[in-house]
Structure 1
Amino acid sequence: MHTAMGTTEIFLIAMLVIFTLPYLIWRLANIDYWAPLVVVQIITGVLLGPGILGRAYPDYYAFVFNPQVMLALNGIAWWAVMIFVMIAGIELDLKKAWEHRRESTITASLALSVPLAFGCVAAAGMLGYAGWKGAGAQDWQFVLGVGMACAVTALPILILLMEKLEILREPIGQRVLRYASLDDIAIWGVLALILLDWTRVGRQAGFMLVFVVATVGYRRLMVWLQERDRWFVALVWLGACGLAADWAGLHFMVGAFLAGAVMDAHWFDQNKLDALRQNVLLVMMPVYFLSTGLRTDWGVGGAAVFIAAAVLLAASVAGKLAGAHLAGRILGWGKGEASIIGWLLQTKALIMIIFANILLDKGIVTSETFTALLLMAIGSTMLTVPVVYPKLRRVAALVFKSS
């Protein structure tokens, strides 16, 4: 039966599994409060990976997720995540952050540096054991990479969760977006530092120089174009930036983020931009979640991976809360305000998973470390709404506090 089926039919079987299984789990179990659909899709990707489905049913796993099918799925996944990261770059509101620069800089700096320090300590401890550091990494790259993974805030998923909490357009939601926007820039800057290849430093410097010059021309073109044309030109720009960044050795996702970061959100209708993000999440990103799940590995032992994930989650959450409380003391926030902001900013989800995928691609971390980071991201995101919702109800006045 299997041999009679061609690649197209097997590909469609894989697509049916990808889109049917997580939706049924999410809808029938009615767990939206605890786990948004995107989180269920990530978990399902892990379940469909080689560590669980592949181990339990190796023949069926090899049949459905054969190399030809995986090649097709990976192409969809790469383009989907590039669009997703570009949107994250577009949504950076640097002008708003500049208007509130003292508050934004203090909060964003502490909300990034404290969990980064906590994560680096945890990563330094992991260096004492075999199986965590990637073959292509120096110690400082591993420590800084894992530390930054603990400091990441997932801006696009944070937007979705704040929409669910009905605070996105309220003053506190806009403040949190400013803090997360500044942290996003630092995250990608540190990633570029980690990935810096001294054997190709000339090529990477050349990429940055050409990118700066091209950005000037691109921005002038986008201002001149009508909005209907900007959408198409933005995708051409995305492909060019991703290709150039990957050619330079920085990874195509760095190029995707830079492509979006130099765009202005007001060039596009906000409702259409929101709809594009939602549609990418609905139509294409589940394929990326599957490819992420296929990278999970329990080679150093399931218990060790779960322990590492728990330690990293504790470092991430404790660091974000500590950083937010320090900012609250300096800025004189009200009671309960720092806790709400800290819990929102510790949301990891997709940006951290993308970050960890890049570390894995470049040999900075092993598959086991990637799995621990993936579990940490899932736990972080699942905690956000259940923890923040009751806090908001107790301190309802915070929703309307503008500074």
Structure 2
Amino acid sequence: MPALAAFALDALIFIGLAWGVWRVLGRAIPIAVIPIIIGLGLAATGVLPAGWGVPSKLGGQLGFVGVLLLAFTAGLETRQSAHLPPTSEAAPLPRTQALRFMASAGMALLLPFALGTLAAHYYFTGLPGWDAPRGGAWMGSMAIGLCLAVSALPVLIGIVRELGPLHRPLTQLALRIAVIDDAVLWIGLALLLLAAEGGSLLAGASVLHVLALGVAILLAAAGTLAQRLRAPPPAWLVWVSLPVFMVAGAWASSQLGLHALLGAYFGGAMVPPAWGRRLPVERLGQFALIGLAPLFFGHSGLKIDGSVLGWASLQASLALLVLAVVAKLAAVLACPPASHLSRRDALAVGTLLQCKGLMEIVAATILRDKGLLSEHAFAALVTLAVLSTLLTGPFFRALVKRRAAQPQSGSQPA
């Protein structure tokens, strides 16, 4: 099939069909997971002829640009709160409450990571095909643990908007924790990949490595300097700087032996918050999520070896799902993010935090590309991300059903 026709078919399947299914289902399923489900279904059944040229080369390139933009906007979102629904609850917390909140956020990350790492090391990596190609047993186990600790900030923002203002005090807490989770996820990915390199970045540094490190330092310095400037820059300068921060960050991280998505994320995080507030961050994220990234996620599902998608893989995914959900819920019950929360409300916050969404798939893709996850583990984690995302809304609504039935002070209809 000609390259252009293959791309058109590629876009029709993973963008057009995914969007159509999303609308037919009344947006009940987050659009981020639909192309993944389509890809998984095609990989499992093998009904797509190889001669059709799907996945296409151009589709893969555009999909990667889309996921770079998603990572970049996720970095932007960690530095500013313009993307969050407006609420008085977003005001700075008093010191005591802030410490409690940070402790809760830390527990919500550490408990799933620790339990996931131990379970992977002592059970899952012993399953056939689960050994990580690189890094050894503990590195592969920590990669699985990191994926279980993820909370999907971009998808969670969309879910929270769909839930409306009635439960905003709870959803706002979950979003604040998810922002921290998102930042720690990318930092943890970087540290894990550096550890997997075994210090080779420092031992075998070349001129290109030094240049890439210099670019990263220059971006950080430029962001800090721009933040200190009192006079706001013209809008055109802000827009011109965006691709510079994204592309330069992605290039620097890839040259340093890390993944380009890491650099795109940190490039977004280096953009001054005052600049970010002048940008349509939500629209940029939506464009990437609906118009470009479905190709990347659909290809991720399609490229999974169909032979690993079976009952054993589904069992492993369900076991990991139970472990991830229980760990998140136990963490927020043991250390609630706010002292006034009832057990039911704390569980509702934990239910939102267990949403994996596309951030886990991005993380798993990076780890698989670097050899820290096997194809079997990757398939199970992608399935886990889809299941956890699908369950987030129904679980949350079930937990707050009684709360919703009671009038909330200060609540306004949507």
Interval of TM-score (by shorter of Structure 1 and Structure 2)? 0.7 to 0.9
1:307 maps to 315
- Quote the residue 1:12 is aligned against: 8
The structure 1 residue matched to 2:52, chosen from 60, 63, 70, is 63
Give the 3-state SS of the residue equivalent to 2:376 in structure 1: helix
Q: Deviations over 1:181-211 (max 9, x none)?
A: 1122221122112111121235578855652
Note the C-alpha offset of 1:394: 1.6
Which of 27, 30, 41 aligns to 1:32? It is 27
Partner of 1:159: 157
- Find the aligned partners of 2:300 and 2:166 in 1 and give their Cα distance: 28
- From 346, 351, 354, the counterpart of 1:338: 346
Structure-to-structure mapping, 1:300-379, within 5 angstroms: 300=308, 302-328=310-336, 331=339, 333-379=341-387
> If the length of structure 2 is used for normalisation, what is the TM-score?
0.85
Match of 1:85 among 50, 71, 94: 71
Unaligned runs of at least 5 residues, structure 1: none
Amino acid paired to 2:142: L
The yes-or-no answer on 1:175 pairing with 2:173 is yes
Contact 1:122 1:311 in 2 (8 A): no
Assess if the C-alpha contact under 8 Å between 1:94 and 1:181 holds in 2.
Answer: no
Q: Go from structure 1 to structure 2 and tell me whether the alpha carbon gap of 1:360 and 1:391 turns closer, same or farther (over 3 Å shift).
A: same
Counterparts of 2:213 and 2:11 in 1: how far apart (Å)? 38
Aligned with residue 36 of structure 2, among 28, 39, 42: 42
Which residue is equivalent to 1:200? 201
Overall identity of the aligned pairs, in %: 28
2:100 is equivalent to residue 103 of structure 1: yes
| 1:300/1:75 CA distance change after superposition, 3 Å | closer
Question: How far is the alpha carbon of 1:122 from its aligned partner?
Answer: 2.4
Contact in 2 for aligned 1:153/1:345 (Cα 8 Å)? yes
Residue type of the alignment partner of 2:202: V
Change (3 A) 1:300 1:176: closer
Count of residues paired in the alignment? 388
Q: Distance in 2 between the 1:134 and 1:191 partners?
A: 16
Q: Is the 8 A contact 1:18 1:286 kept in 2?
A: yes
Distance change >3 Å, CA 271–CA 257, structure 1 → 2:
closer
Equivalent residue number for residue 187 of structure 1: 185
Which stretch of structure 1 is more off in the superposition, 233-242 or 209-218? Answer: 209-218
Match of 2:259 in 1: 251
Give 1:221 deviation, angstroms.
4.2
Once residues 210 and 21 of structure 2 are traced to their aligned partners in structure 1, the CA distance between those partners, rounded to angstroms, is 47
Q: Give me the whole-angstrom Cα distance separating, in 1, the residues matched to 2:318 and 2:237.
A: 47
| Structure 2 stretches lacking a partner, 5+ long | 82-89
How far apart are the structure 2 equivalents of 1:378 and 1:281? Answer: 15
**Match for residue 211 of structure 1?**
216
Q: Greater CA deviation, 248-257 or 115-124?
A: 115-124
Q: CA deviation at 1:136?
A: 1.6
- The structure-2 alpha-carbon separation of the partners of 1:218 and 1:301, relative to structure 1 and needing over 3 Å to count, comes to closer
C-alpha separation between the residues in 2 aligned to 1:174 and 1:246? 34
Map 1:94-173 onto structure 2 (within 5 A).
Answer: 99=93, 101-124=98-121, 125-167=123-165, 170-173=168-171
Find the counterpart in structure 1 of residue 299 from structure 2. Answer: 291
Give the TM-score, by structure 1 length: 0.87
Pick closer, same or farther for the CA change 1:143–1:17 going to 2, 3 Å: same
Asked if structure 1 preserves the Cα contact closer than 8 Å seen for 2:76 and 2:276, the reply is no
Per-residue CA deviations over 1:228-276 (Å, capped at 9, x if unaligned) read: 3312211111000100100000111110111112224442457722122
Q: Equivalences for 1:378-397 in 2 at 5 Å? A: 378-396=386-404
Q: 1:228 to 1:173 in 2, by over 3 A?
A: farther
Q: Deviations over 1:64-118 (max 9, x none)?
A: 32xxx63212211111111101111111157979745313211111111111122
Kindly indicate whether the alpha-carbon contact (under 8 Å) linking 1:298 and 1:305 is maintained by their aligned counterparts in 2: no
The 1:300/1:45 distance shift into structure 2, 3 A limit, reads closer
Give the AA of the match of 2:304. Answer: T
User: Structure 1 residues 210, 63: closer, same or farther in 2, change over 3 A?
Assistant: closer
- Distance change (3 Å), C-alpha of 1:168 and 1:241: farther
1:174 CA drift (Å): 2.5
Shift of 1:385: 0.5
Aligned mate of 2:59, from 69, 73, 90: 73
Equivalents in 1 of 2:217, 2:341: separation in Å? 39
1:42–1:293 contact (8 Å) kept in structure 2: yes
How has the CA–CA distance of structure 1 residues 184 and 209 changed in structure 2, closer, same or farther, with 3 Å as cutoff? farther
Asked if the contact 1:172–1:398 (Cα under 8 Å) also holds between the matched residues in 2, the reply is no
In 2 relative to 1, CA 93–301 (structure 1 residues): closer, same or farther, beyond 3 Å? closer
8 Å Cα contact 2:101/2:337 also seen in 1: no
128-137 or 16-25, which moves further after superposition?
16-25
Counterparts of 2:395 and 2:389, CA distance in 1: 11
**Does 2:231 align with 1:236?**
no
1: CA distance between counterparts of 2:283 and 2:360? Answer: 22
